[in-house]
Amino acid sequence: MFVADRIPSRDPGEGERYRVELTTDLSLVGTLVDSVCDCCFGEAPASSQTRFRLCTVLAEAVANAMLYGNDEDPARRVVVDVEVCADRLVIAVTDEGDGFDHCIIPQPIDEESIEATRGRGLFMIHRLADHVKFNDRGNTIWMTLPRR
């Protein structure tokens, strides 16, 4: 089981912050998702829709970081940062890879890419998260979801 390290807040109005670092090992994704859900909801259980959205976007982002960002290299790590605010969750997933240009990933709903094996996870993340942002390098994704 993972233990998410609590990070002290810089500002009293800021939400609780947590960080989990893990090696590139796809078998760890499910346990990581459970651990992050515990941090995000704790005593205040979320709706099944919110829990589904968080579990799906987090699992997809971490799996993508391991598979594509870190090239499945077990020597590389993935860092998950979580900010739990009263009304929202902000999740950042960072890998140690070179990054990518998220704008060139084809939509898996276009006729020419309907059978593509890449891009489906990113498509789901964009559909399930309220806001999605990448750093310039393309090795960190931030996802914002409601906390209700």
Give the pLDDT confidence of 52-69 residue by residue, as tens digits.
999 999 999 999 999 999
Q: Is residue 91, in this structure, part of any structural domain at all? A: yes
pLDDT of residue 107: 65
> Is residue 3 domain-resident?
no
Q: Is residue 39 part of a domain?
A: yes
Which parts of the chain register pLDDT below 50? 1
- CATH of residue 134: 3.30.565.10
Give backbone dihedrals phi and psi of 147, rounded to 5 degrees, phi first.
-110, 50
In a domain, 53, yes or no: yes
In a domain, 117, yes or no: yes
Domain that holds residue 27: 17-146
β-sheet bridge partners, residue 77? 23
In a 13 Å sphere around the CA of 114, the CA atoms on its Cβ side amount to 3
Q: CA neighbours within 13 Å on the CB side: how many for 54?
A: 29
User: Could you tell me the pTM of the whole model?
Assistant: 0.86
Q: According to the model, what pLDDT value does residue 118 have? A: 64
Based on the structure, what is the number of domains in the chain?
1
Helical (H) or strand (E) element with 63: helix 48-64
**1 lies in some domain:** no
Contact 144, 90 (CB under 8 A): yes
| Residue 4: predicted pLDDT | 64
Query: Rounded to a whole number, what is the distance in angstroms from the first to the last CA of the chain?
Result: 25
Looking at residue 102, its pLDDT comes to 73
Per-residue model confidence (pLDDT) at position 144: 97
Q: Which amino acid is at 5?
A: D
